[in-house]
Chain A
Amino acid sequence: MRDGKHLILCVDDDTDLLDLLRMQLEKGGYTVETAFSGEEGLVKFKQHRPDLIIVDLMMEEIDAGTNLVKELKLVGNNVPVLLLSSMGDQLNLSTAYRDLGLDAVFQKPVNAEALLRTIKAKLAQ
Chain B
Amino acid sequence: MESRTKQDLILTHSLLLGERLYLFARLRFLAAAGILVGGLFATYAVGIQGLNLSALCASAIFLAVYNLGVFFAVRPFRHLGEGADQHRRLVLIAYISVTLDYLVLTYAIWQVGGAESPFLAFYLLHAILASVLLSRAEAYGHAAIGYLFLSMLVLGEWSGVIPRRHVVGATPCDATFDVRLVVTVLFVYGLLTAVTTALTTGIVKLLRESERGLRDARNRLERLADMRRSFLHVVLHDVRSPVGTVVAMLDGLSGGIDGPLADAQKRRIERAEKRLQGVLDLLRGLRVLADLETERLETLMAPVDLLASIASAVEEQQDSAEQRGLTLAANLPPLLPKIEGVERLIREAIANYLTNAIKYTQPGGKVVVSASSTEDVVRIEVTDNGPGISAEDQAKLFQEFARVGRAGRASKPSGIGLGLSIVRRIADAHHGRAGVVSEPGQGSTFFIEFKVLHA
Contact = CB atoms under 8 A, between A and B. Distances in A.
Contacts of A108: 241, 244-245, 248
Q: Which of A27, A88, A92, A93 has the most CB of B within 10 A?
A: A88
A61 B245 CA distance: 18
A interface majority secondary structure: loop
Contacts of A16: 245, 249
B188 interface: no
B251 interface: yes
A58 B237 CA distance: 9
Contacts of A17: 244-245, 248
A109 to B, nearest CB: 4
Given A16-B245, A87-B287, A88-B291, A112 B252 contact: yes
Contacts of B138: none
Contact of A86 (B240, B249, B345): B240
A17 B243 CA distance: 11
A44 to B, nearest CB: 22
Contacts of A93: 344
B23 interface: no
A43 B237 CA distance: 27
Interface string A85-125: 01110011110000000000000111110000000000000
B344 A91 contact: yes
A77 interface: no
A14 B245 contact: yes
A109 B248 contact: yes
A108 B277 CA distance: 11
B248 A88 contact: no
Given A86-B240, A92-B300, A109 B257 contact: no
B247 A23 contact: no
B344 A112 contact: no
Contacts of A20: 245, 248-249, 252, 257
B291 A87 contact: no
A14 B249 CA distance: 12
Given A24-B252, A109-B280, A112-B255, A88 B244 contact: no
B283 to A, nearest CB: 7
A109 B244 contact: yes
B39 to A, nearest CB: 68
Nearest to A113: B255
Interface string B126-143: 000000000000000000
B322 to A, nearest CB: 14
A121 to B, nearest CB: 16
A58 B233 CA distance: 13
Interface string A43-55: 0000000000000
Contacts of A87: 240, 280, 283-284, 287
A88 B426 CA distance: 15
A8 B283 CA distance: 30
B247 to A, nearest CB: 4
Interface in B207-242: 237, 240-241
A86 B252 contact: no
A24 B300 contact: no
B257 A27 contact: yes
B240 A23 contact: no
B249 A91 contact: no
Contacts of B82: none
Nearest to A23: B257
B283 A91 contact: no
Contacts of B167: none
Interface in A1-30: 14, 16-17, 20, 23-24, 27
A24 B257 CA distance: 7
B343 interface: yes
Given A17-B245, A86-B241, A109-B244, A91 B251 contact: no
Given A16-B245, A20-B252, A88 B287 contact: yes
Contacts of A14: 241, 245
B266 to A, nearest CB: 16
A110 B257 CA distance: 15
Contacts of B252: 20, 23-24, 112
A120 to B, nearest CB: 17
Nearest to A56: B241
A14 B248 CA distance: 12
Contacts of A94: 343-344
29 contacts: A16-B245, A17-B244, A20-B245, A23-B252, A23-B257, A24-B257, A27-B257, A86-B244, A87-B240, A88-B287, A88-B288, A88-B291, A88-B344, A91-B291, A91-B294, A91-B344, A91-B345, A92-B300, A93-B344, A94-B343, A94-B344, A108-B244, A108-B245, A109-B244, A109-B245, A109-B247, A111-B251, A112-B251, A112-B255
Interface of A: 14, 16-17, 20, 23-24, 27, 58, 86-88, 91-94, 108-112
Q: Which 4 A-B pairs have the closest CB atoms?
A: A109-B247, A108-B244, A109-B248, A109-B244
Interface of B: 237, 240-241, 244-245, 247-249, 251-252, 255, 257, 280, 283-284, 287-288, 291, 294, 300, 342-345, 348
